[in-house]
């Protein structure tokens, strides 16, 4: 199924998850930790998380701690790299089902990044803004890009401003590698081909596809980045209704958010299949 053709599928899936009692695929976890936690899906967002009015602006902008939020779980070690990471419980359950299906086909998925709250994203952003983290292997943004807007746009090729990242929501994951080239040959190509063929079956969509086919603004292509639509779609719509560029503050370079129009060009600058309207 091509991403252009999955809008109806996503709608049906969201209605099945939120319009009536959720029906989940039974998953046989690989660990006691998964068995204890993943099967207890709890939501702080009321009985219908698809209702955009139920999502607070603090949640949308990542101003909370996933370690203490009741909707989040530590990702079991079998599914991730060595760093402790968090994900929404409902997303973790669907990822587990996808992981098991991929494994049966000889594909091993590994989460390299998941939830990042405002403070975490601020650290990443400001390290790049101040030159502590070098861009593209040789660019010190603080020294080589003096104009604030140009510096912000350079960082925005692959990194979000704090308060604007989909990773704030606990719905988005980065898988296996952070380079598009990895997914163009060998095992990486097999992983990407499996994801493009099957991820939608578990509710996942690639938000940052190549420019020109349903997407003309936003971050560069990220073949590793996948978003759980039954939760991320209402959050995208809630962000569209509730956020303003002027709210994006509290970090170096925040003054450029309005001029760049972060809301329209980046938060909403995603693959149209991930935001069917």
Could you tell me which residues come within 8 angstroms of residue 260 by beta carbon, excluding any fewer than 6 positions away?
Answer: 149, 152, 153, 156, 266
For residue 171, the surrounding DSSP H or E stretch is: none
Considering the domain boundaries, does residue 144 fall inside one?
no
Considering the domain boundaries, does residue 243 fall inside one?
yes
Q: Does residue 274 contact residue 227 with C-beta atoms inside 8 Å?
A: yes
Considering the domain boundaries, does residue 67 fall inside one?
yes
Considering the domain boundaries, does residue 76 fall inside one?
yes
User: In the chain, what is the straight-line distance between the N-terminal and C-terminal CA atoms, in Å?
Assistant: 19
pTM for the whole structure: 0.85
Considering the domain boundaries, does residue 188 fall inside one?
yes
Total domains present in the chain: 1
From CA 159, how far away is CA 57, in angstroms rounded?
Answer: 21
Of the candidates 211, 241, 227, which has an alpha carbon nearest to the alpha carbon of residue 275? Answer: 227
| Boundaries of domain holding 211 | 3-116+167-252+270-274
Please report the DSSP string for 214-265 in residue order: S--SSSPP-TTEEEEHHHHHHHHHHHHHH--GGG--SSTTGGGHHHHTHIII
Considering the domain boundaries, does residue 206 fall inside one?
yes
Considering the domain boundaries, does residue 260 fall inside one?
no
CATH code, domain carrying 45: 3.30.1380
Considering the domain boundaries, does residue 110 fall inside one?
yes
Query: Per-residue pLDDT for the chain (277 aa), expressed as one digit of tens each?
Result: 444 444 444 444 544 444 333 333 333 333 323 322 333 333 455 557 778 888 999 999 999 999 999 999 999 999 999 999 999 999 999 999 999 999 999 999 999 999 999 999 999 999 999 999 999 989 999 999 999 999 999 999 999 999 999 999 999 999 999 999 999 999 999 999 999 999 999 999 999 999 987 789 999 999 999 999 999 999 999 999 999 999 999 999 999 999 999 999 999 999 999 988 6
């Amino acid at each position: 199924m091509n991403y252009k053709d999955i809008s109806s599928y996503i709608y049906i899936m969201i209605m099945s998850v939120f319009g009536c009692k959720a029906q989940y695929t039974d998953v046989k976890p690989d660990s006691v930790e998964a068995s204890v936690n993943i099967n207890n899906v709890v939501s702080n967002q009321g009985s219908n998380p698809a209702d955009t009015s139920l999502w607070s602006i603090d949640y949308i902008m990542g101003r909370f701690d996933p370690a203490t939020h009741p909707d989040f779980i530590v990702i079991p070690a079998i599914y991730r790299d060595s760093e402790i990471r968090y994900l929404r419980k409902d997303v973790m359950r669907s990822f587990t089902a996808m992981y098991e299906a991929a494994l049966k086909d000889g594909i091993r998925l590994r989460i390299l990044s998941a939830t990042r709250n405002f403070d975490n994203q601020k650290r990443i952003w400001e390290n790049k803004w101040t030159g502590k983290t070098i861009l593209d292997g040789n660019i010190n943004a603080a020294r080589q890009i003096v104009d604030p807007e140009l510096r912000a746009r350079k960082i925005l090729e692959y990194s979000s401003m704090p308060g604007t990242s989909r990773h704030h929501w606990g719905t988005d994951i980065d898988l296996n590698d952070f380079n598009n080239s990895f997914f163009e040959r060998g095992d990486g190509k097999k992983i990407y081909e499996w994801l493009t063929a099957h991820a939608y079956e578990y509710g996942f969509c690639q938000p940052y596809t190549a420019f020109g086919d349903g997407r003309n603004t936003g971050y560069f292509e990220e073949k590793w980045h996948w978003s759980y639509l039954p939760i991320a779609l209402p959050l995208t719509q809630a962000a569209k209704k509730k956020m303003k560029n002027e709210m994006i503050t509290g970090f170096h370079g925040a003054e450029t958010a309005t001029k760049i129009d972060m809301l329209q060009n980046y938060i909403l600058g995603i693959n149209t299949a991930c935001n069917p309207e």
